[in-house]
Chains A and B, each alone.
Chain A
């Protein structure tokens, strides 16, 4: 019985989501990018970015849709490889930040008292340091490269979600269904993780979409500062290359990376809004 109810809730949200044409298109775009990223990680069916395809800075045309870079490498192939980097940054940082945010926020919201005091102090302390400063510090300290970018973004990205979950769990813990769960002998952990958390899952899903695009945008900034991916192309390093290229009239690396990023971040933005509308019951009917 309970199982069926859960299904119909999520099913309802899903049907609402796909009924919205823009949300559906965004979902398809996100899935397509994920597929490309997956194919690129296995090196299947994607063009090769490593070898020189012709002279340096060939303008777009023919089989080289986006021309070539300084070393004659195919810019389109670099964009595809950048997709892999961007999506992996989104995925890995979400996998780090979201569990931290959920657990920390849930513990603070549920137990209150001194646990909440300590966690709130930690959250305030963390948010009082400018985010970009923390990001750059962590990446520099762990050494330039993709792993550091994952860790830096993962370790700074949980704060907003933790605050959100804390507030929501606080509201839920006084509700009757939680009292009922306690009355039939459910302990704290059971009440928190089995009963309350499923009711705040929608926040986690909405936040994941936000986390993904923030991570993709931040990777570009870190790579641009020379702290990110080393030795392979990412959208950030391509935009960084464009600094020197624009004055020579070479615009295709900047355009390729910017447009590729624009499309997927836009899709995540629209999807995030649509998810909020579909999943947040407070907004129903508005």
Chain B
């Protein structure tokens, strides 16, 4: 297992190369010159030249790529081009608002979906099952933007139950700001989650060991919770854990809509202003998180199912 983990960690190297290459191609080769954009409309040719010199944009492309690779491996991303802020300071400030929104919402939606899918599996083929399945598909067919607009208008503006937008970092206060975007997150996740978990659970429910468990007189609920759920754990773990790295980036749409100053909003601003170092930092950090968390799922497999050996 140690060998496996080391090999997977070494895989980070080609992936970071790949991510920096994609980002580099997109922003340094395909995209136009960021200097005029950063300086605004009234920049002189001299100013543009100086800024290009300062940002290292006058070097040959290969040298520029090596700069990108170097900063990706040392995780030294420097300062934002747009705000001149240190990028790690920006991330430190953005992480808290993002995580206060995404982690509770993610935890609640996962727990509710697993419970709901167990209920649906218990009543499989019956009215409740059909009804919840239809709700899931119907819920997934509505645009996330429409949810955001409608919930914000109706629950916050009309009913006044929640703050319309904004954020305060102190403990009890932030709840009133993240509650509504959190609810929207949960509503958006329930459909796909319940559908996936239901399929996974039903895949197990027709197995022989389930019949054996019933035959020895166990109740349906015990069978579901002690036998089926345990065996359905591997796909559920994969599905859940692999979403975590993307929680760190925050909920881009929700944050920008509810004016939450999180990482999603920072990323969106960076994209809009061609703030290359910030985009690079977000892409590289999230791909490192992605690799680490997919490694974590593999390790969790061995805990969920002792037969799994990592080689």
Q: Do chains A and B stick together as partners?
A: yes
Q: Is the CB of B283 within 8 A of A269?
A: no
Q: B267–A133 contact, CB under 8 A?
A: yes
Is B176 close to A, CB under 8 A? Answer: no
**A239 adjacent to B143 (CB under 8 Å):** yes
Interface presence of A55 (CB below 8 A):
no
- In the assembled complex, the Cα of A126 lies from the Cα of B191 at a distance in Å of 25
Contact B19 A125 (CB under 8 A): yes
Given contacts A125-B22, A137-B27, contact A242 B287 (CB under 8 A): no
B198 to chain A, nearest CB (A): 12
A271 CA / B267 CA spacing, docked (Å): 36
B143: which of A125, A128, A261, A286 is its contact (CB, 8 Å)?
A: A261
Looking at A124, A136, A273, the one whose CB has the most chain B CB atoms below 10 A away is A124
The answer for the CA separation of A132 and B144 in the assembled complex, in Å, is: 13
Q: Is the CB of A129 within 8 A of B286?
A: yes
**Could you tell me if B14 and A121 are in contact, using CB atoms closer than 8 angstroms?**
yes
In the bound assembly, the distance between CA atoms of A243 and B291 in angstroms comes to 38
Q: Does A127 contact B (CB under 8 A)?
A: yes
Expressed in whole angstroms, the Cα–Cα distance for A239 and B152 within the complex equals: 14
Q: Which residues of B contact A (CB under 8 A)?
A: 11, 14-15, 18-19, 22-23, 26-27, 30-31, 137-138, 140-146, 149-150, 153, 157, 206, 245-246, 249, 252-253, 267-268, 271-272, 274, 279, 282-283, 286-287, 290-291
Our count of residue pairs bridging A and B at CB distance below 8 angstroms stands at 113
Q: 5 A-B contacts, Cβ less than 8 Å apart?
A: A217-B144, A240-B145, A243-B149, A261-B141, A269-B141
List, in ascending order, chain B residues with CB within 8 A of A269's CB.
137, 140-141
State A132–B145 Cα separation when bound (angstroms).
14
Interface size class of A (residues with CB under 8 A): 35 or more
Report A's interface with B, CB cutoff 8 A.
Answer: 121-122, 124-130, 132-133, 136-138, 140-142, 213, 217, 220-221, 224-225, 235-236, 239-240, 242-243, 246-247, 254, 257-258, 261-263, 265-266, 269-270, 273, 286
Knowing A125-B19, A141-B26, A141-B31, say if A265 contacts B141 (CB, 8 Å).
yes
Structural contact, B18 and A125, CB atoms closer than 8 A: yes
Question: Do B15 and A125 touch across chains, with their CB atoms under 8 A apart?
Answer: yes
5 other A-B residue contacts (CB within 8 Å) besides A128-B290, A261-B142: A137-B26, A220-B145, A239-B145, A247-B157, A261-B143
State whether A121 and B138 are in contact (beta carbons under 8 Å apart), knowing that A136-B271, A221-B145, A261-B143 are contacts in the complex: no
- B140 partner residues in chain A, CB cutoff 8 A: 265, 269
The answer to whether A136 and B253 have CB atoms under 8 Å apart is: no
**B253 closest partner in A (C-beta):** A221
CB distance from B115 to the nearest CB of A (A): 23
Nearest chain B CB to A29 CB, angstrom units: 12
B141 touches A266 (CB 8 A): yes
Q: Give min CB distance, A75 to chain B, whole Å.
A: 15
Interchain CB contact under 8 A, A247 and B153: yes
**CB atoms of B142 and A246 under 8 A apart:** no
Whole-angstrom distance between the alpha carbons of A140 and B269 in the complex?
A: 12
Interface core residue of A127, A130, A236, A240 (most chain B CB under 10 Å): A130
The complex places the Cα of A161 from the Cα of B132 at a distance, in Å, of 28
In the bound assembly, the distance between CA atoms of A204 and B168 in angstroms comes to 48
Instruction: Give the CA-CA distance A11 to B308 in the complex, in Å.
Output: 42
Asked whether, in the complex, the Cβ of B15 is within 8 Å of the Cβ of A121, the reply is yes
Contacts of A126 in B (CB 8 A): 22
Q: Please give the distance in Å from A277's CB to the nearest CB on chain B.
A: 12
Q: Which residues of A contact B291 (CB under 8 A)?
A: 124, 128
| Cβ-neighbour of A286 out of B14, B153, B206 (below 8 A) | B206
Contact A121-B249, Cβ < 8 Å, known A136-B268, A141-B31, A239-B145: no
Closest to A266 in B: B141
Minimum Cβ distance to chain B for residue A116 (Å):
14
Whether B146 pairs with A239 at a CB distance below 8 angstroms is yes
Quick one: which of A121, A128, A141, A247 has the most chain B CB within 10 A? A128
